[in-house]
């Protein structure tokens, strides 16, 4: 049973080859777009690597970059096949390579679908990674003189100002950590001593936040110290007052940013998948139509093009059998061939036996 058979005249084959050539170059540009998309996403993730606990989410841009480069190569090959399809002397050289091409094109489509699925499936991993990474970033905010953490304060401050956020979940996260380094504390001060003694872990905790949490859009000057003390500020009530700080936590801000970025790639990736499938199907029709015309020894005559020569089940079984045959062909049977040294050894071993078996000569 031939699957999706179509009739092709010489003129129709030429039009198919011309249209497929244009479609192939469109797919090449789509491959470049996918690669650039992966590079951009990878760059954005690396910029926030200090506030991420792991790099599992990097699998998405890595696949995009790999598929983009592979798509450029495979669709360039498709354009060359289209050029040679009208030349009876040059087209047969593509016969074996096209089998590999169809497998590679199908794999690219599967990988692009996997990218779309992973973009949604890894949201939970991204959230957990940011939760742990931001918690550590806030905890190490004060360690400006510790090697490896010197720029942690700058990273957190720039992050809070750029994404208009404060803390991990909210601004109260800063109340639970000592974010002022001991080198800037006056340990002769009674207030400093009392605060350190009142804490079980001996930390200097404040109901304050860094300056980067202040919202410049607020009409009131920034209040970043003594936030829970109503008497410390005029006309101020901590519970009822809408503080002039960013209310959103940085974890939620980053999750929204990255998920919007990955979700926006979904329609683009799906469009590339449709184009890639169109190239694959069109090239299969062109290949079978040209092969049919050459089989009739009339390159300008009518021919038939199809997707599968047999049914889907029979085709899969045939492909499986061909792969197994190729694997068997590549294996060397150790019992089939013997080395010359082994053969010489056997002959040398047989010589004493033959001499012993022969009767001694009588003098």
276 contacts 27 by C-beta, under 8 angstroms? yes
pLDDT in tens, 33-80: 999 999 999 999 999 888 998 888 899 899 999 999 999 999 999 999
Instruction: Give a yes or no: residue 127 inside a domain.
Output: yes
Average pLDDT over residues 83-93: 78
Rounded distance, CA 97 to CA 102, Å?
Answer: 9
> Which pLDDT value is given to residue 312?
65
What DSSP string runs through 5-58? -EEE-HHHHHHHHHHHHHHHHHHHHHHHHHHHHHHHHHHHHHHTGGG-S--GGG
Instruction: Give a yes or no: residue 327 inside a domain.
Output: no
Ranges 199-213, 229-243, 320-334: which has the least confidence: 320-334
Instruction: Give a yes or no: residue 184 inside a domain.
Output: no
> Which pLDDT value is given to residue 333?
53
Instruction: Give a yes or no: residue 222 inside a domain.
Output: no
> Which pLDDT value is given to residue 13?
85
Checking if the pLDDT of 256 tops 70, the result is yes
- Structural domain containing residue 130: 3-137+252-314
> Which pLDDT value is given to residue 319?
67
> Which pLDDT value is given to residue 1?
47
Instruction: Tokens for 285, please give them.
Output: 């029709």
Q: How confident is the model at residue 345 (pLDDT cuts 50, 70, 90)?
A: low
pLDDT in tens, 306-323: 777 666 677 677 767 766
Instruction: Give a yes or no: residue 273 inside a domain.
Output: yes
Ranges 101-110, 160-169, 183-192, 298-307: which has the least confidence: 298-307
**E strand residue ranges, 77-180:** none
pLDDT in tens, 262-304: 888 888 888 899 999 999 999 888 888 888 887 877 777 787 7
Checking if the pLDDT of 326 tops 90, the result is no
Rounded distance, CA 176 to CA 156, Å?
Answer: 16
> Which pLDDT value is given to residue 26?
94
Instruction: Give a yes or no: residue 148 inside a domain.
Output: no
289 contacts 309 by C-beta, under 8 angstroms? no
Q: Which of 36, 45, 40 is nearest to 67 (CA)?
A: 36
Give 30's contacts (C-beta < 8 A, 6+ positions apart): 71, 271, 272, 275, 276
Indicate the number of domains in the chain. 1
Using left for φ > 0, alpha for ψ between -120 and 50, and beta otherwise, residue 9 falls in beta
Average pLDDT over residues 169-176: 92
Instruction: Give a yes or no: residue 342 inside a domain.
Output: no
> Which pLDDT value is given to residue 357?
47
Instruction: Give a yes or no: residue 324 inside a domain.
Output: no
Rg for the chain, CA atoms, rounded: 36
Ranges 29-33, 38-42, 149-153, 260-264: which has the least confidence: 260-264
């Amino acid at each position: 049973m031939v699957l999706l058979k179509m009739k092709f005249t010489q003129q129709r084959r030429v039009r198919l080859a011309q249209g497929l050539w244009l479609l192939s170059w469109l797919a090449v540009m789509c491959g470049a777009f996918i690669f650039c998309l992966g590079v951009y996403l990878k760059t954005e993730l690396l910029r926030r690597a200090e506030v991420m606990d792991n790099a599992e989410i990097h699998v998405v841009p890595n696949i995009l970059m790999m598929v983009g480069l592979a798509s450029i190569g495979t669709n360039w090959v498709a354009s060359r096949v289209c050029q040679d399809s009208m030349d009876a002397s040059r087209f047969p050289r593509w016969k074996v390579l096209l089998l590999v091409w169809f497998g590679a094109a199908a794999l690219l489509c599967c990988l692009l679908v996997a990218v779309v699925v992973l973009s949604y499936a890894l949201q939970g991993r991204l959230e957990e990674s940011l939760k742990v990474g931001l918690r550590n970033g806030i905890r190490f905010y004060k360690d400006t003189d510790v090697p490896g953490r010197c720029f942690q304060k700058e990273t957190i401050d720039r992050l809070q100002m750029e994404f208009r956020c404060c803390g991990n979940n909210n601004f109260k996260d800063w109340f639970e950590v000592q974010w002022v380094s001991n080198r800037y504390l006056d340990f002769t001060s009674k207030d400093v001593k009392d605060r350190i003694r009142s804490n079980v872990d001996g930390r200097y905790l404040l109901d304050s936040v860094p300056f980067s949490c202040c919202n410049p859009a607020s009409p009131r000057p920034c209040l970043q110290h003594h936030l829970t003390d109503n008497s410390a500020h005029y006309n101020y009530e901590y519970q009822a007052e809408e503080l002039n700080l960013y209310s959103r936590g940085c974890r939620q801000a980053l999750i929204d940013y990255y998920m919007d970025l990955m979700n926006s790639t979904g329609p683009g990736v799906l469009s590339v998948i449709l184009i890639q499938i169109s190239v694959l199907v069109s090239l299969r029709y062109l290949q079978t139509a040209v092969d049919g015309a050459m089989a009739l020894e009339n390159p300008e005559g009518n021919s038939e093009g199809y997707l599968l020569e047999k049914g889907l089940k029979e085709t899969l079984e045939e492909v499986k059998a061909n792969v197994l045959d190729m694997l068997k062909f590549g294996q060397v049977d150790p019992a089939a061939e013997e080395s010359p040294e082994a053969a010489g050894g056997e002959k040398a071993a047989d010589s004493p036996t033959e001499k012993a078996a022969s009767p001694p000569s009588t003098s």
